[in-house]
């Protein structure tokens, strides 16, 4: 609000009161020349109304200024919080990248495959962002797995395998501490569940596994099959597709396998190359801070 109406209001009240005072003076000292009584009363009413109007305008003016200041403060706090969250997310990602670059590369590809699958299945933008975030962070807990297990070239011993199997729960525990990443934590926990109920850690079966986790399991496994491991060579995309297809209804959700088939080997191979050539991803990790409750 501009100050002009306020000044005009104050002037109107002053004039009204001066006029009222003048009428009163004439009535007291020159009763013959005094204006009719109705006019005096009218002036009192008008000046009272103007006084009320001026006070109201004044308070509206103050209230709007306070509201604007409050909004500015809120904006500044929001951007500070967003920067802090971005920093925390980047720190996690860098920690994983420095610890094991291969796991980080795997995470980027899984984010790309998972997003493409979810988009093909018609999921909304918020779910696409969520699956990308899960892709980046799902194996975060491998930071704590010793090299002798992570890089082992031979078959894992049962106790080593048990240690690996704990990574979804540990990842869940890490990620749920960060409120802005909370929405990704449940999918991280469930990314190794299998459609037939033989997965871990909860052994959920069929559609009891959330759709995002079922989509994610396909994306994760596809990349695991097409990546080189210390104990085996990478398989081709066509071989991995055939393997995923053969496990439809066993390890993977048939709906998600169908979506993968529709998306096609070529599309997935292109995504694989895009990540390799460091082309822009659909969602950069820092874009995903906005998918938290802050937005």
Q: Where on the chain is the footprint of Fe ion (CB under 5 A)? A: 139, 220
Shortest Å, Cβ 135 to Fe ion: 9
Give the residue carrying structure tokens 């069929």: 206
- Per the CB < 8 A criterion, the answer to whether 99 and 269 are in contact is no
- Per the CB < 8 A criterion, the answer to whether 134 and 212 are in contact is yes
Q: How many helices (H) and strands (E) does the chain have?
A: 12, 0
129 vs 139, which CB is nearer to Fe ion? Answer: 139
85 vs 103, which CB is nearer to Fe ion? Answer: 103
13 vs 213, which CB is nearer to Fe ion? Answer: 213
Shortest Å, Cβ 100 to Fe ion: 11
50 vs 190, which CB is nearer to Fe ion? Answer: 190
Residues 6+ apart with CB under 8 A from 169: 189, 201
C-alpha to C-alpha distance for 110 and 96, rounded to whole angstroms:
15
Shortest Å, Cβ 168 to Fe ion: 6
Tokens encoding 170: 């540990």
Shortest Å, Cβ 224 to Fe ion: 6
- Nearest to residue 175, comparing CAs of 211, 207, 137, 227? 137
DSSP summary character for residue 284: -
Shortest Å, Cβ 106 to Fe ion: 6
129 vs 220, which CB is nearer to Fe ion? Answer: 220
138 vs 263, which CB is nearer to Fe ion? Answer: 138
Q: Based on the number of CB atoms within 10 Å of its own CB, is 58 exposed (0-12), middle (13-18) or buried (19 or more)?
A: middle
Shortest Å, Cβ 172 to Fe ion: 11
How does DSSP assign 219-257, residue by residue? HHHHHHHHS-BTTBPPPPHHHHHHHHHHTBTTTB-HHHH
């Amino acid at each position: 609000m501009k100050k002009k109406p306020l000044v005009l209001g104050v002037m109107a009240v002053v004039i009204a009161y001066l006029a009222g005072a003048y009428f009163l003076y004439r009535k007291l000292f020159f009763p013959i020349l005094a204006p009719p009584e109705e006019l005096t009363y009218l002036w009192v009413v008008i000046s009272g109304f103007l006084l009320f109007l001026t006070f109201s305008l004044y308070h509206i003016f103050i209230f709007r200024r306070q509201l604007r200041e409050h909004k500015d403060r809120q904006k500044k706090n929001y951007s500070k919080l967003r920067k802090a969250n971005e920093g925390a997310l980047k720190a996690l990602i860098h920690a994983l990248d420095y610890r094991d670059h291969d796991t980080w590369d795997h995470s980027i590809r899984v984010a790309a495959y998972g997003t493409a699958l979810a988009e093909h299945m018609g999921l909304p933008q918020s779910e696409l962002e969520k699956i990308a975030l899960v892709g980046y962070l799902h194996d975060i807990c491998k930071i704590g797995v010793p090299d002798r297990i992570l890089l082992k070239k031979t078959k894992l011993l049962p106790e080593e395998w048990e240690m690996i199997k704990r990574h979804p729960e540990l990842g869940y525990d890490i990620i749920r501490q960060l409120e802005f990443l909370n929405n990704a934590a449940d999918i991280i926990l469930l990314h190794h569940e299998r459609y037939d109920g033989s997965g871990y850690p909860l052994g959920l079966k069929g559609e009891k596994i959330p759709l995002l986790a079922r989509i994610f399991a396909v994306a994760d496994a596809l990349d695991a099959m097409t990546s080189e491991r210390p104990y085996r060579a990478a398989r081709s995309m066509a071989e991995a597709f055939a393997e995923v297809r053969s496990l439809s209804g066993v390890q993977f959700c048939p709906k998600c396998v169908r979506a993968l088939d529709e998306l096609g080997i070529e599309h997935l191979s292109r995504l694989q190359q895009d990540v390799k050539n460091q082309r822009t991803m659909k969602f950069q990790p820092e874009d995903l801070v906005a998918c938290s409750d802050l937005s």
